[in-house]
Amino acid sequence: MNFATRAFFLFLLVVLLVYHSLRQRQHKYLFLLLASWFFYASWNPWFIGVLLVPTLIDYTAGLLIEQATTLPRKRLWLTLSIVGNLGLLGVFKYTGFLVDNGLSLIRCLGGQVPSWTVELILPLGISFHTFQGISYTIDVYRGKIRAVPRFVDFALFVAFFPQLVAGPIVRAVEFLPQMTEPPPVSGTQVIEGLHWFVLGLFKKVLIADRLAEFMDPIFQQPELYDAATLRWAILAWAARIYCDFSGYSDLAVGCAKWFGFELPLNFNFPYLSESITEFWKRWHISLSTWMRDYLYISLGGSRQGVLRTCANLLATMTLCGLWHGASWNYVLWGFYNGVLLVVHRLYDHALEGVPQSTVVRRHLVYRLFAWACTFTLVATGLIVVRAQTWNGCWLMEKALLGLGTSEGLRMVPLWVPLLIGLVVVGHLYSGLKNVRCQLLLWPEFPRAAVYVMALALIVVFGPGSTKAFIYFQF
Amino acid sequence: MDQGHTSSRRRRLRLLLYFVLGLLLVDGVVRSQEDRWRRCDPDDYQFRLEGCQREHWDLVLVGSSVIAESADPAILRGLSWEGHPLDKVYNLGLPGATTSEVWHAVHHGLVHPPRVLVYGITASDLNGSRNEPHGPSTLMTWSDWPGWLQQRPDAAWWCTRHLVEEQLQQCWGLYRYRNGIRLWSALQLERCWPGTCPDAAAEARGGVQTTAALRRPDGYAPNPTFQTMRFDLRKASGWDGEPFQFLNNYSIGTHLNYLDRLIVWARDQQVRLVLVDMPVTDDLEGRRNPAEFRAYRQALRKRVASSGVSLLTAQRDRVGLTNADFADLIHLNKSGAARFSSWLRQELEHLSPPGARP
């Protein structure tokens, strides 16, 4: 059940009506849990097992960690929880990748191996809910939160349907305190819920899905097009992936508000970043902070010298790439981002204490240059993820750097720059003023008019069949 | 403190109120311009039904696309029936329709019962595995729903779903006419800035042309592509015909119950019902689906025998049709339609009660 479909709207309406008509805490949460499980099972009933197993493991591990009186015991239960979650993730997400590469390696070494491959269905959102479970047991281990005594509460924390399949990755410390009593829904939440829901739909249905129609064929066969069209396709891809994923996060935030829950911010105008470090503080925030808190810091963070810090950054980002997808494209993309972070860190380090460096770095010309460099570097990485072949990837990279050919088809409909322009305007209008969304500050009448107009545009100009969210595959 | 709280609550309520009013306003504007959207994105069932409802017809031809393409009212107009000419002839052919749709079109479209009702039927009309979504969405209302549950319990859930979807769509004009608005906008944009959305604009222009054809007073709007196509030439060029899916998983199902209802309705309204077993190519009935056509004809003859309704069998050789008169496996082209219509006119005049013939 995709978010931007009639079936989901109907499901949401029914769940909201029943949830708010129930009075008792346990009834409300039990109903919401069952609804969330139904939502998950609607993709494939077998997925429920993949959700239930880690839920049971983490719930039990949390209780055992809290009850354990010695550190080794606590560590044992924590290890079991982490191994259980990562094991499940590994089996479903990486088995095929490992087997394929293992067989290829044997073939390269001259070995005789059968030509079969392993293909397992990847359960939706497995990367998200397993990370959520791991963060819970680690937080219980670190004493940041108490273990949840009621299974229904814990299961709901893992399965809460607005964020179940594509995040944001909600931390137990953020969500569980909200669950003490069913939070009452305030008027502000109703309005803000509408705001984020409409904005999310607009980004997904009108911008991301429409841009997909333009850029998909170009990425499929880039050799047919001239460099200018390829550059537009790269811009469209950057705008699309942002609108697709942040659109999903907005929808999740909006839905959660209608149940009285607050979900964390996941995107903060990432394309305004003036460095790659800043980019990762603005893009998929719930994942990057998860990686920082549970992996980078656990590896030693920046406490053990420059070399070790660089190694930690590279390892964290390469694993972050692998988390996104079981293919060499993603591994390379993660490693590439790790290298960029290391270079930026060393650059920062080198400039520390240099006179006038702060003044220069605050100058508008320097900031514009830094922004242009950052965006180009980010786009370079995004091409690696999306390209179908390494040859196509090279063609796109050349076009991005202004080295492409002027021969080939030129085909950029008027609406492509228009839609990309909307993303730019959104970034400049709200991002530069450092507010989550400037529209929220508008007077009621023009704001309502914008919602009506946005909804009308979504209904009329959205593609007939909505494409699945890109981040579902992760 | 309390005052501030109350005023912020009022502001929030005001926003919601503006939002709802805005939606209603947009809906009102969209509905007031519905003809504009419908012209770009025509619903042929609805246009034909409306055309039929507008007047009191003497002779109405119903059926699926086989009748929509083949029966030319201009040729049938003026045929003599019981000593009087049938001057007002309407083609209510509904592409893709089964007998269930035909019944609902007759039930809602024939406000004034005609003197003669010709139903051009073929095997696909009775295929129980087929359901045409246009039926529940355009031809049916809630008052037809209990009847459907009774007549076609096997497709009860399917019908209910489509009926509910349609009723919900009707609540929101913007959603209902979204495709028409999109096409109309494309047409306007393309006029101002050529090359902006050529595909959508071409689709809109096609829609406008179809609308003009569907609004012809006699309802006859054959597909322009079929008009010029010739099945014999296509076969000679090595083409073997596209898969004909309308006879897939063939079973004489509950559509037959609606044929019974049609027969009863005609008797009650004192309308002379004539069934015409429509001509199809030998490739379809002789080579591809002989068993399906046998089952269909057997069921049809049984019904005709028990009800006493007239049946005209439009075999190819009787009508004088060859593959040159067909556009594809089942549809007649322009010359085929002319030949069939003339034959039908003759046959109907023979059927006219003898005492009353001039």
Indicate the range of B215-219, B242-246, B318-322 predicted with least confidence: B242-246
Query: A202 CB contacts (<8 Å, ≥6 apart)?
Result: A247, A454, A457, A458
The nearest alpha carbon in chain B to A192 belongs to B12
- Cβ pairs A/B, distance under 8 A: 54
- Phi first, then psi, for residue B17 (nearest 5°) are -65, -45
Are B271 and B116 in contact by the 8 Å Cβ rule? The answer is yes
Residue A192 phi/psi, 5° resolution?
Answer: -65, -35
Under a CB-based contact definition with an 8 Å cutoff, are residues A255 and A197 in contact?
A: yes
- CA-angle at A151, arms to A147 and A152, nearest 5°: 125
Q: For chain A, give me the number of helices (H) and strands (E)? A: 21, 0
pLDDT at residue A322 in the model: 86
What per-residue confidence (pLDDT) applies to A464? Answer: 63
What pLDDT was estimated at residue B354?
60
pLDDT for the residue numbered A323:
85
Asked whether the beta carbons of residue A188 and residue B182 sit closer than 8 angstroms, the reply is: no
Per-residue confidence (pLDDT) for residue B357, from 0 to 100: 45
Q: Is residue B255 a contact partner of residue B125, using CB atoms and an 8 Å limit? A: yes
Does B239 reach chain A within 8 Å, measured CB to CB? no
B18·A194 Cβ contact <8 A: no
pLDDT score for B38: 92
CB nearest A452 (choices: B11, B12, B23): B23
Q: Is the peptide bond before A168 cis (omega within 30 degrees of 0)?
A: yes
Confidence class for position A466, pLDDT limits 50, 70, 90? very low
> Please, what's the b/e burial string for A408-436 (b: 16 or more CB within 10 A of its CB; e: otherwise)?
beebbbebbeebbebbeebeeebbeeeeb
Query: Rounded distance, CA A367 to CA A369, Å?
Result: 5
CA distance A287 to chain B (A): 33
Contact A460 B19 (CB under 8 A): no
B10 touches A at CB < 8 Å: no
For residue B118, list its beta bridge partners. B61, B274
Is A194 touching B (CB cutoff 8 A)? yes
Sign (positive/negative) of CA torsion A220, A221, A227, A232?
negative
pLDDT tens figures, A42-51: 888 888 888 8
Closest CA to A271 of A428, A151, A413, A415: A428
- B356 pLDDT higher than 60: no
The pLDDT > 70 percentage for chain A reads 96
Give the pLDDT band (50/70/90) at residue B346.
Answer: very high
Question: What contacts A10, CB < 8 A, 6 or more positions away?
Answer: none
Q: Is some CB atom of chain A closer than 8 A to the CB atom of B186? A: no
* B132-161 pLDDT tens trace: 888 888 899 899 999 999 999 989 999 999
Q: Are A463 and A207 in contact (CB under 8 A)?
A: no
Burial label for B126, CB within 10 Å (0-12, 13-18, 19+), is buried
Which residue is listed with tokens 């228009």? Answer: A418
Instruction: Tell me chain A's radius of gyration from C-alpha atoms.
Output: 23
Smallest Cβ distance to A414: which of B13, B178, B193? B193
Residue A242 has pLDDT above 80, yes or no: yes
Task: Report DSSP state, residue A206.
Answer: I
Q: What are phi and psi of B62, to 5 degrees?
A: -120, 165
Say if strands B79-81 and B84-86 run parallel, antiparallel, or are unpaired.
antiparallel
Determine if residue A467 is left, alpha or beta; phi over 0 gives left, psi from -120 to 50 gives alpha, anything else beta.
beta
Would you call B12 an interface residue with chain A, using a CB distance cutoff of 8 Å? yes
How many CA atoms lie within 13 Å of B149's alpha carbon, on the beta-carbon side? 8
CB B93 within 8 A of CB B126: no
Question: Do B244 and B329 form a contact (C-beta atoms < 8 A)?
Answer: yes
Residue A439's CB is within 10 A of a number of other CB atoms, namely 18
Q: Work out the minimum CA distance from A198 to partner chain B, whole angstroms.
A: 12
Rounded Cα distance between A260 and A180, Å, is: 12
**Measured between alpha carbons, how far is A408 from A417 in angstroms, rounded to an integer?**
20
Cβ–Cβ gap A456/B15 under 8 Å: no
Count of other CB atoms within 10 angstroms of residue A123: 23
How far is it, in rounded angstroms, from Cα A54 to Cα A267? Answer: 27
pLDDT surpasses 90 at A128: no
Rounded mean pLDDT of A264-272? Answer: 90
Residue B277 parent element (H or E):
strand B272-277
Q: Model confidence at A181, in pLDDT bands (50, 70, 90)?
A: confident
Tokens, residue A161 = 């349907």
Cα separation of B141 and B166, whole Å? 10
Of A241, A61, A266, give the one whose Cα is nearest residue A163: A266
Query: Is the pLDDT assigned to residue A173 strictly greater than 90?
Result: no
Predicted confidence band at A107 (pLDDT cuts at 50, 70, 90)?
A: confident
Sign of CA dihedral A224, A227, A232, A237: positive
Cβ-defined contact of A460 to B174 (cutoff 8 Å) = yes
CB A312 within 8 A of CB A342: no
**Percent over 90 (pLDDT), chain B:** 60
Q: What is the pLDDT of residue B358?
A: 42
CA distances B349 to B80, B275, B345, B352, Å, are: 6, 14, 6, 5
Contact A232, A279 (CB under 8 A): no
How far apart are the C-alpha atoms of B300 and B170, rounded to whole Å?
A: 37
Pull the structure tokens for residue A403: 């080295």
Indicate the SS3 state at residue B84: strand
Question: Residues B311, B277: contact at Cβ < 8 Å?
Answer: yes
> What are the two backbone dihedrals, phi and then psi, of residue A117, each rounded to the nearest 5 degrees?
-130, 160
CB–CB of B16/A191 below 8 Å?
A: yes
Burial A339-358 (b: 16+ CB within 10 A, else e): bbbbebbeeeeeeeeeeeee
Of these residues, A129, A195, A284, A324, which one is catalytic?
A: A324
Residue B8 has pLDDT above 90, yes or no: no
Please, what is the average pLDDT of chain A?
Answer: 87
For A424-454, how does the pLDDT look when each residue is reduced to its tens digit (9 = 90+)?
998 998 888 878 888 888 888 999 999 999 9
| Chain B partners within 8 Å of A412 (Cβ) | none
Q: Which of B13, B19, B197 sits opposite A452 (nearest CB)?
A: B19
Res B64 pLDDT > 90? yes
Residue A120: pLDDT over 70: no
Active site residue A324: yes
Token pair for A151: 């299974």
Query: How many angstroms separate the CA atoms of A18 and A3, rounded?
Result: 19
Could you identify the residue written with the tokens 């003809």?
A: B35
Smallest Cβ distance to A459: which of B16, B19, B178? B178
Task: Report which of residues A426 and A326 the model is more confident about.
Answer: A426
